Amino acid sequence: MALHVMEEANRCLQCKKPRCQEGCPIHTNIPEVIRLLKAGRLNEAGWMLFENNPLTTVCSLVCNHENQCEGHCVRGIKDTPVHFSVIESYISTTYANQMVKGPAPSNGRKAAVIGAGPAGLTIAIILARYGYGVTIFDSRDKIGGVLRYGIPDFRLPDSVLDDMAYRHLELKGIRFRPNTYIGSAITIDDLFRDGYQSVFVGAGLWKPRKLNIRGESLGHVTYAINYLASPSAFRLGERIMVIGTGNSAMDCARTAVRHGARYVSCVNLTDTLTASQYESSYARLEGVDFIYNKCTVEIREDGVILADSQTDADGRIVPVPGTEKLYPCTGVIVAVSQGAESNLVTTTKGIDTVKSGLLTVDEDGHTSRPGVFAAGDAASGARTVVEAVANSKRVAEAMHEYMQSLPMPVTTAYPDVPVVQNIDAAAQAEQAF
């Protein structure tokens, strides 16, 4: 592994105007990281990666490198680009094992983070570096959000996220409150009541988009976001039809293969896939077929009815009447994106949304309610992990600036209550009565 990494590092041309850095949404200083590695200063390279991108171990595995850093590499014009993903993964995972530094000195202020996905984790880590007391609230039992429950383990092992929970949260004093849905028993108003001076909303997109066709409620049908969260819970048989061809559809198809499906097909409206070439090539390698230029018009117990697609006068893709055919299958996975949940907004006054349910924010993540910030999928719709990190870094600085402008918070309504010095003795005295 190390030899291969050094071979890739030696291929870097150390460009004066690094196109790779420009192609990275978070502008990682790739030439400098490689230079430090080649000079035997791996820890410095690792520190640089984590300071710039708290989720560097994750991004090295799941980023769309072919369209970002590696896709902009000057070597790729006539040759194979430098595979920085391999270099980044090696440096970040090696350096992460040495990250044992405890929390920064407290500045006496608290911030709440709703959602433990890429955006929420980035916000929490950056604010903790400033000394804020950060609590992350998430409806699931572990951190990661879409990273854990929307990306298969063969692409992003849970061990990477578990290590992040230890290195970045536990060691840094960040609290995680699992299985807590903000907008139900606890609201954003409750968070402000309890002394959090700002609230970040990074709840993600967990509401599946429907096809709105006959048969969508049948027992052998599910949605991508539900299937990827727990694929072993479903019994979809050996012939699976995936509706959609984005990266999530590729994840569903490849996961189905690993859970016993012998025949997997993905249906696409046009002749161009929306998934990256990297992900679709792996799907093909694993035996997944693609059906192009088809509209899904009905789901039946014995299969899916598809029709040829065409573009109408309004630019919409619609089925061609009379071209319907039944494609037999035993299970159907609908993978046509997700939307935003509404409970969080409906239980909070003063937060504006756009028609699709996404939060209305300015370039620094301010929502229409003072003290409430948002970024990531909840504000901009589905984006890549590194884009969520890049946006969240900017929002974290805006939250820091906002909280520093406020007076120090009141931490309790009862500041002068005496403390029970020996709680065991006090409990025994209570029992005596």
Q: What is the DSSP string of 107-139?
A: -S-EEEEE--SHHHHHHHHHHHHTT-EEEEE-S
Residues 287 and 248 occupy one common structural domain: yes
The answer to the question of residue 102 being in a domain is no
pLDDT of residue 377: 77
Range list of H helices, 171-326: 188-193, 224-229, 247-258, 277-285
Q: Would you say 361 and 375 are in contact if contact means Cβ atoms under 8 Å apart?
A: yes
Q: What average pLDDT does range 212-228 have in this prediction?
A: 96
Residues 214 and 332 occupy one common structural domain: yes
pLDDT of residue 425: 66
pLDDT exceeds 90 at position 358: no
pLDDT tens digits, one per residue of 133-152:
999 999 999 999 999 999 99
pLDDT of residue 98: 83
The answer to the question of residue 311 being in a domain is yes
Q: What average pLDDT does range 66-92 have in this prediction?
A: 94
Residues 118 and 68 occupy one common structural domain: no
Maximum Cα–Cα distance across the chain: 86
- How many Cα neighbours within 13 Å face the side chain of 407? 2
Confidence of residue 328 (pLDDT cuts 50, 70, 90): very high
Q: Would you say 26 and 60 are in contact if contact means Cβ atoms under 8 Å apart?
A: no
Residues 174 and 193: their CA atoms lie apart, in Å, by: 20
Q: What average pLDDT does range 151-158 have in this prediction?
A: 95
- The torsion angle over the Cα atoms of residues 177, 205, 188 and 26, rounded to 10 degrees, is 80
pLDDT of residue 31: 97
More confident residue, 15 or 351: 15
Q: Would you say 44 and 364 are in contact if contact means Cβ atoms under 8 Å apart?
A: no
CB atoms within 10 A of CB 66: 15
pLDDT of residue 354: 77
Confidence of residue 177 (pLDDT cuts 50, 70, 90): very high
Lowest-confidence pick of 73-82, 317-326, 333-342:
333-342
The answer to the question of residue 124 being in a domain is yes
Lowest-confidence pick of 123-132, 208-217, 379-388:
379-388
pLDDT of residue 427: 61
pLDDT exceeds 90 at position 430: no
Q: What average pLDDT does range 354-365 have in this prediction?
A: 83
Residues 310 and 165 occupy one common structural domain: no
More confident residue, 178 or 100: 178
Residues 194 and 120 occupy one common structural domain: yes
List the domain range (segments joined by +) for residue 83.
2-96
The answer to the question of residue 416 being in a domain is no
pLDDT tens digits, one per residue of 273-304:
999 888 999 999 999 999 999 999 999 999 99
pLDDT of residue 147: 95
Lowest-confidence pick of 153-157, 215-219, 278-282, 418-422:
418-422
pLDDT tens digits, one per residue of 198-207:
999 998 777 8
pLDDT exceeds 90 at position 379: no
Residues 149 and 291 occupy one common structural domain: no
Q: What average pLDDT does range 168-173 have in this prediction?
A: 88
Residues 277 and 306 occupy one common structural domain: yes
pLDDT of residue 2: 62
Residues 124 and 219 occupy one common structural domain: no
Residues 227 and 250: their CA atoms lie apart, in Å, by: 12
Confidence of residue 3 (pLDDT cuts 50, 70, 90): low
Residues 11 and 73: their CA atoms lie apart, in Å, by: 11
The domain tally of the chain equals: 3
Residue 334 in 3-state DSSP? strand
Lowest-confidence pick of 198-202, 315-319, 341-345, 402-406:
341-345
More confident residue, 312 or 428: 312
Residues 218 and 278 occupy one common structural domain: yes
Residues 332 and 346 occupy one common structural domain: no
Q: What average pLDDT does range 22-41 have in this prediction?
A: 96
- Residue that terminates a domain, selected from 310, 336, 362: 336
pLDDT-above-90 percentage for the chain: 77
The domain that holds 154 is classified in CATH as: 3.50.50.60
Confidence of residue 343 (pLDDT cuts 50, 70, 90): low
Residue found by looking up tokens 């209305």 in the block: 360
Residue whose C-alpha is closest to residue 129's, from 195, 48, 190, 51? 51
Residues 313 and 126: their CA atoms lie apart, in Å, by: 49
Q: What average pLDDT does range 300-312 have in this prediction?
A: 96
Residues 244 and 169 occupy one common structural domain: no
CA of 95: how far to CAs of 46, 89, 98, 172, in Å? 5, 10, 6, 16
Mean pLDDT of the chain: 92
Q: What is the DSSP letter of 102?
A: -
The answer to the question of residue 430 being in a domain is no
The domain that holds 36 is classified in CATH as: 1.10.1060.10
Residues 76 and 157 occupy one common structural domain: no
Confidence of residue 355 (pLDDT cuts 50, 70, 90): low
